[in-house]
Structures are given as structure tokens and as C-alpha cells.
Amino acid sequence: MQEVVAMYAIPQLQWVVSTHENTARLRSELDALRSQILVFAAGLGLILAILASYAARQVSSMYEQIIEGQNKQLQIERDKSDKLLLNIMPQDIAEELKENHTTLPRQYPSVSVLFADLVGFTDFSANLAPECLVAVLNRIFNDFDELSFKYGLEKIKTIGDCYMVCAGVPKANAKHAQQISNMALEMLTKMQEINHDLGLDLQLRIGIHSGETVAGVIGKAKFAYDMWGDTVNTASRMESTGIPGKIQISSATYQLLHDQGYLFEKRDEIDVKGKGKMKTFFLTSQLQPDDELRAFAAAVYRPEIRHSSLACKT
């Protein structure tokens, strides 16, 4: 019996014990593998989460850069639009137009209007190539624009070879007659400089009148800041009935200037279309600059416009 047990039972028992030990070891190894898989999965998930977060940040940054670039370009275009608008009308009027999409003309009780014409320019321009004609006018009117900035005046427009500027709009100014007279005197000096630089012999005929007017923007297409009324018409007549190289002013303007340190030459009464006989004066010079007016000019002077040298010669 012992032999049978030793031959059959003990080996079977040993196999059972061995199998149990192997199973326990295998289970332990599987548990360890399962733990490793869980750790790996957790690590992989973290890596994927980090990669996803990084990718999201990169995409977000890319879109932010695109949006920022578009905003910058939009601001550049808006600045260009604003600059263009300010080139054709006063800032106050431009702001009102941008905000309300319309603006009402305003009445101004006392302003001074100047017209300046290049005498004989039509005949002179007949001998110039178109590009040279434009270059000459650009040089002259650019220099006049500088003077309008210097004296805080509002350029209204150019009509061919005629230049129109006003003092006292869009903001009222008690010294409008002095401002525009100072510009007129310097325009004559500036014209001499231009003649010397370009080898020309052009003369200005300038007319000034003071009074009430209406100014503003009308229309919906190709609108521009403009002025209307008898003051504008009379200022134009002061120019057209004037003398080349002189500044003719109306008696209304003379009354604002006669005690302000200027010299005048009295002219005989002249016939003015639509007005009849009018007493006028020639403004010849300024004896003593007004300190307050000079300080005002210095404060508003913005030399934003510069001319380039001209290749055209007559």
C-alpha cells in the first residue's frame, strides 16, 4: 500500500501543490502586469492631455495672431480714412459726420475770407506739359497750405489756379481778420520765393472781405466742406477787381484792421459787380506783429505738408 501511495498519490499531490504555486505566481505576475498597464494608460492619458492642451494653445495663439493682424490692418485703414476725411473738412465737422452720418450747415456771424488768383496762369500754362503744370500748382498750393496751418486757417478749396481760405471757421475767432491778413502778406513773399526757385514770373492777386457766412457739408456724394453767402461773393470780387501783386481788402475788413498795426493804401471807389460802388484799401504791410496772434500761430503750426523739388522748368 505504501508503495502504491508513493508511486501514485505522492506525485499527484506534488503536482497539485506545484500547480497551485504556479497559479499563484501567475496570478501575481498578472496583477503586476495589470498594474503596469494601468500606470502606462494613466501616463499615456496624461501625455495625450498635455499634447491636446498644447495643440489647443497653439491653435488659439494662431487665431489670436490672425485676429490681431486683422485688427491692426483695420485700424490702419480706419486711420487712412480718418486722415482723408480730415483733409477735406475740419475735424469737428468730420467727427460729427462720422458719428451722425450727417451734419448741418452752420452760420458764422463774423469771418474773413481770402481768394488768391495766379494772374495770367492760363496763358502761362499753355506752354507747359500737363505733368509740369500740375507740379507747379502743387508746389505753390502746398506752400500756401503750410501757411494756412501756420496761421490756423481753414483751407476751403482750390478752383483751377484760384486758392480759397477762411479764418473764423469752424471755430469762432475774434482775430480772424489779423490771421488772414498775415497769411496774405506772407503769401506774396512766398510767391517771390517760388518764382526764384522755379525761374518763374508769376504774380498773385489777393482779395479779402469780412462778414457773416454759412459753412458746412451738403449732398451725399463727393461731399466737401464749403461756404456760401454774400461774404464769399464779395471776397471773390475783391480778388477779381484787385491789382496783381497787391492785397485788396473791403472796408469791412479795414475796420477790423486799421488800429491793429497794419499799413494801408487807400484806393478810389471801384465798381463791383452786384454791389455797386465800393470803398476798398490795399493792405501793404504789418508794422508790429501782435504777440498774442504770433503765440497762437506758433501753437497751431503743424508743418505737415512739404513739397518736393520740381524737375519742370519753363
pLDDT digits (tens, 9 = 90+) for 160-172: 899 999 999 988 8
Choose the weakest-confidence range: 166-180, 229-243, 282-296. 282-296
Whether pLDDT at 201 is above 60 = yes
Cα separation, 179 vs 296, whole angstroms:
10
pLDDT at 291: 62
- pLDDT given for residue 304 in this prediction: 46
- Whether 54 is in a domain gets the answer yes
pLDDT for residue 128: 85
CA–centroid distance for 46 within its chain:
54
Band (pLDDT 50/70/90 cuts) for residue 18 is: low
Q: For residues 204 and 117, is the Cβ–Cβ distance under 8 A? A: yes
Q: Where in the sequence is the domain holding 33, given as residue range(s)?
A: 1-88
Same domain for 111 and 43, yes or no, is no
CATH code of residue 223: 3.30.70.1230
Domain for residue 308, yes or no?
Answer: no
pLDDT, average across residues 105-126: 92
27, 176: one domain: no
Count of domains in the chain? 2
For the chain, give the mean pLDDT.
Answer: 82
pLDDT at residue 79, as a whole number:
73
Q: Give the C-alpha separation, 41 to 38, whole Å.
A: 5
97 located within any domain: no
In a domain, 314, yes or no: no
Q: Is residue 311 part of a domain?
A: no
What sections of the chain are H helices per DSSP? 2-4, 10-88, 91-100, 121-125, 130-150, 176-198, 230-240, 251-257, 291-300
Q: Are 62 and 111 found together in one domain?
A: no
CA geometry: angle 228, 209, 185, nearest 5 deg: 125
Q: What percent of the chain has pLDDT over 90?
A: 43
Same domain, yes or no: 187 and 62: no
18 and 140 in a common domain = no
Question: Does one domain contain both 178 and 261?
Answer: yes
Pairing of strands 106-119, 162-167: antiparallel
Q: Is the pTM of this model over 0.85?
A: no
Residue-wise pLDDT for 229-280, tens only, equals 999 999 999 999 999 999 999 999 999 999 999 999 999 999 998 889 999 9
Let me know if residue 306 belongs to a domain. no
Statement to judge: residues 39 and 150 lie in one domain: no
